[in-house]
Amino acid sequence: MDMWLKEGQISDAAMTYKIKETLVRKQTEYQDLAILDTYAFGRMLVLDGIVQTTIKDEFVYHEMISHIPLFTHPNPKKVLVVGGGDGGAIREILKHPSIEKAVLCEIDGSVIEECKKYLPEISSELNNPRCEIFVGDGIKYVHEHKNEFDVIIVDSTDPFGAAEGLFGGSFYKEIYECLTEDGIFIAQTETPFYLPEVVKKVFNDAKAVFPVTKLFMAGIPTYPGGYWSFTVGSKKYDPETVDLSNKIDFETKYYTKKLHKACFTLPKYIENLIK
C-alpha cells in the first residue's frame, strides 16, 4: 500500500508527497514532529503536517534568507537566527569569514535533536564553535538582548500556533532594538499567491519600523505556490543597491551576486500588493 503525506496548509489547495519511510514521528512540547523519507524530495522535516524543509530543495531557502542580508551588511560579525532548528541558516551564515558568533534561538529542542540525527546535510554546522545554541522563546530572547546583533534572521514556521508572535509590528520593534545601529533583519513572509493579506500585513508592519524595507522572491518547490516571499528591514543599507564587487565568492547552489539584485524586481501583482 502506498503512503502519502497530504499537506493542507492552504484551505482550498493541497500538496501531496509519496513516502518511502517514516524515520521519526513524535509529539513534542510544542508540535507534531515528523521526518519522512520521500521519493521526490528525499528526507523532509514536517511540523504539524506542514513541510518545513527537504534535502532536495532546502538550499534555495537557506541561501536566500542568509546571504541577502549578510552580503548587504558591510561587516557582519554577530548574527541571531530565531527559529531555524534544522540548522540550514547557520550552515550558510558560517560560510562568511567575518562571522564571529551565530546564535540559534529555537523554542523546540526536539527539532534540533532530530535534525542532527536525520538531516546531517542541513544541520552540519550546529557543532561549529562559532555557533551558540539557545533553546527557548525567541521573542523573550530578542527582548533581553538590546543593540547586540548585526543581522537577525527570523527563520520561523508559518504564522500560526507557536510562531504567530514572530510576525507583526510589536516583534519587529523589538528586533529593531536588538540590532546594532546599522543592523539588518530578514524574515520569510509567506506566499503572495495564496496568502496575499499575510504578505501585505507583514511587509507594512516591517515598513513602519525600518527606514529601508524591501521584499524579494525565490522559487521553492515544496512551499505552496512554489514562489515565496522574504522581507528585509534595514536601518541603513539598501540590499537592492549595495555594492557587491568586493564581496568574497564561495560555493552556492542558488544565490549569486546577479540574483541578489535581480530578486528584488517584482511581478506587477506583488508590487501592487505591497504599495
DSSP conformation class of 26: E
> Which residues are annotated as part of the binding site?
31, 62, 86, 106, 137-138, 155-158
Say which residue the cell 536566500 belongs to.
64
For the segment 115-158, what is each residue's pLDDT rounded down to a tens digit? 999 999 999 999 999 999 999 999 999 999 999 999 999 998 65
For the segment 171-191, what is each residue's pLDDT rounded down to a tens digit? 999 999 999 999 999 999 999
Active site residues: 155
Question: Does position 197 have pLDDT exceeding 50, yes or no?
Answer: yes
Q: What is the mean pLDDT of the chain?
A: 94
Pick the CATH number of 58-274 from 3.40.50.150, 3.30.565.10, 3.40.50.12500, 3.40.50.2300: 3.40.50.150
Can you read off the three cell numbers belonging to residue 16?
A: 501531496
The domain ranges of the chain are 3-54, 58-274
Question: What pTM does this model have?
Answer: 0.95
Pick the CATH number of 3-54 from 2.30.140.10, 3.40.1080.10, 2.60.40.10, 3.40.50.720: 2.30.140.10
Question: Does position 164 have pLDDT exceeding 80, yes or no?
Answer: no
Q: For residue 168, what pLDDT is reported?
A: 62
For the segment 74-124, what is each residue's pLDDT rounded down to a tens digit? 999 999 999 999 999 999 999 999 999 999 999 999 999 999 999 999 999
